[in-house]
Amino acid sequence: MKKIFLIYSLVIVGFVVFLYGCSEVKNDLTVATVPGIHATGWVDPSSANFHGKSLEATNYDFNACKSCHGGDFSGGTSGVSCSNCHASPQSCNLCHGNDEHINPPKSLNGGQLNTDRGVGAHVQHLTSDTTQRHSAIVECNECHLPVNSFADSNHISKDGQIFAKVIFGTLSRTVTEGVTPNPTWNKDAQTCTNTYCHGTFKNGNQSAAPIFNDPGSVHCGTCHGNATTGNPLPGGNHTQFYPNRTQCYLCHFGVMKPDGSFRDQSRHINGVVDIGNK
């Protein structure tokens, strides 16, 4: 009888150990939902350990992130979704732009002022707010290589440069009656020269050199007309018969208003000369 009792006792103990062991294995496979692998300050933008700075140091290689948070950053084995803080760590307006657009401001370093090199005149070129823009919207690929996705080879780094490289598109090279632009970007001086957009066209101020992070360097007259006085009227018959900007509308009614303000910015610096209302 004792022998049978001993056998049953061993079986029961073994079964309990088996259950406990399985429970421990299961717990070991369950990854905690509270991040603990990263250094203190990982989610604090003011910290030297902020994950944005860490990503910048790796040239924004997200493969390490995906290994724990999943290919779509929804949690993966970590159980922590990146969307808890932002829609996607690879969305365009996370690093530059805001909720309304993907272009600066803000810039990569968080800059918001147009005197910052990363911000400059992006608003004047791209914003949909026509009170700040004085031309047709300049698409991103008119100044930068086209980018179709975060992992695009034209994105993040090109030729070893981690800043946005300026590559001029077709608009800046528009030829007008024998005047052929040769667009040039000076990174140090932050200037665009020899571009159709800023004076390299018939009757234009071909020596114009607008400064990207100095919006005051461009005004009516800078690209055509008198850059000193601001009178936008080109030479020749323009100044002879139409002495001030309030008369531009007489020939360019679709573009200008009688008070000298824009009627339709999209018809200015668009590659053609708009005459009348056509």
Question: For residue 165, what pLDDT is reported?
Answer: 85
pLDDT in tens, 58-82: 888 888 899 999 999 999 998 899 9
Question: For residue 242, what pLDDT is reported?
Answer: 73
User: Which pair of structure tokens corresponds to residue 164?
Assistant: 């946005």
Q: Is the pLDDT of residue 197 over 80?
A: yes
Q: What is the dihedral of CA 12, 17, 22, 28, to 10 degrees?
A: 160
Q: Is the pLDDT of residue 153 over 60?
A: yes
Domain ranges of the chain: 41-90, 91-167, 170-232, 244-278
Q: What is the pTM of this model?
A: 0.76
| Among the listed residues 215, 255, 209, 225, the one whose alpha carbon sits nearest the alpha carbon of residue 124 | 215
- CA angle, corner 134, sides to 191 and 220, nearest 5? 70
Q: Is the dihedral of CA 183, 187, 189, 191 positive or negative?
A: positive
pLDDT in tens, 42-62: 988 889 999 988 888 888 888
Q: Number of helices and strands (H, E) in the chain?
A: 6, 2
